[in-house]
A = this chain, B = another copy of it.
Amino acid sequence: MGMGDRLTRMEPDLTALDAYLDDAGVDGYLLDADSEVSDQYYLSGFDAPDPFITLYDGDTHLLFPRSLEFGRAKRESRAETVERYVDFDHQSKVDEYGPDEAVSHVLADFLAAYDVDSVAVPPRFPLRTADSLRERGVDVSADTDGIVTEIRATKTETEVDYVRTAQRANEAAMEAAESLLEASDIAEDETLEVDGETLTSERVKEEIEVTLLRHGCSLDETIVACGADAADPHDSGSGPLVAHEPVIIDIFPKDKATKYHADMTRTFVKGEPSETVREWYDLTERAMEAAFDALEPGATGADVHDAVCDVYEDAGEPTLRDDDRTETGFIHSTGHGVGLDVHELPRLAPNGGELEPGHIVTIEPGLYDPAVGGVRIEDIAVVTADGYENLTEYEIQFVV
């Protein structure tokens, strides 16, 4: 296993965490996770593939099971102190209690060393760690949304630049994909061809992913979905691409140097879109405009989502707001925060809270029906003091 490339890390503003601990009346905030869990990476400032402990009590303290990460953590992390199980008599505790229970004694001694008797933890904190600390007399309470996750929603200028850089790479990849579609010919069976070879979802994804790699980005998945595949927003697509049908391309890379993401979707048609798809596309562009008109500090994510639902419902399209069982129409939320996670707070959804300057969000209305296909358009923007700045420079083009 290996770690992320080094980066000039931004220092998080944790005053909201200090206030949270005061209000909750607890001694500290505790994490037990590897740094794939973004709260852990954000609070510890350290990148490790295996779970470790972070305690925040005004200062940041790290605890590692082994010595392996010790030296690097002292060099790279933002913690005031870095310790190991061995620093808390781990072996003698193993001899006395066995390997499993020993860990809870090490953790309890670690907390006691900082006079921490009570901790708040995120909602997805590991149950076994919590129960074992409770057995040792530590008060462990899970918060609702995760205060660190909430803090992460508001980006510094440095973080906005990280996302902007990832978005430039994203646009280079979208350009490579659109160029493939433009360069394609329509075969007799209406599948697309490039240089006499059938153009598949897999081929376009490979072009996108190689382009992202060349730009220092990695990604788990890309969506290049045509026809019925495109009617399922979570179907990544497969097989030949077909003329006259919408092709949804949704790219959400992670910049390997900073670990921050970008996110963008375009829908293209090679050939002649049907009347329905044309209407869907126009409606979705209008829904996107309505969302951006509503996007400003003080508005809620629910307001922005409602603006999109209004456009679709006024045109007679089904939405989850109107029918919470529908599987066609506008069947997802309007958008989500983007940062260390590609899906994070805030929500542009029925339960979306108040928007603040520094929130980075996607705006991604769409319509879906297996009988027709799917249309989705997605930009990424940052909420500013007086509205928003669209971080997306890629044009919105439909027929290629």
Contact = CB atoms under 8 A, between A and B. Distances in A.
A371 interface: no
Given A1-B221, A221-B4, A343-B49, A232 B125 contact: no
Contact of A1 (B234, B238, B325): B234
Interface residues of A, number: 67
A24 B70 CA distance: 38
Interface in A38-74: 48-50, 66-72
A68 B234 CA distance: 8
Nearest to A324: B86
A222 B2 contact: yes
A131 interface: yes
A100 B222 contact: no
Nearest to A342: B1
Contact of A210 (B71, B210, B320): B210
A139 to B, nearest CB: 13
Given A69-B234, A125-B126, A91 B324 contact: yes
Contacts of A324: 67, 86, 90-91
A189 interface: no
A272 B235 CA distance: 52
Given A86-B325, A232-B72, A214 B221 contact: no
A327 B67 contact: yes
A32 to B, nearest CB: 8
Q: Which 3 A-B pairs have the closest CB atoms?
A: A123-B128, A2-B236, A2-B223
Interface of A: 1-6, 48-50, 66-72, 84, 86, 90-91, 99-100, 121, 123-131, 140, 142, 144, 202, 206, 209-210, 213-214, 218-223, 232-238, 250, 252, 256, 320, 324-327, 331-332, 342-343, 351
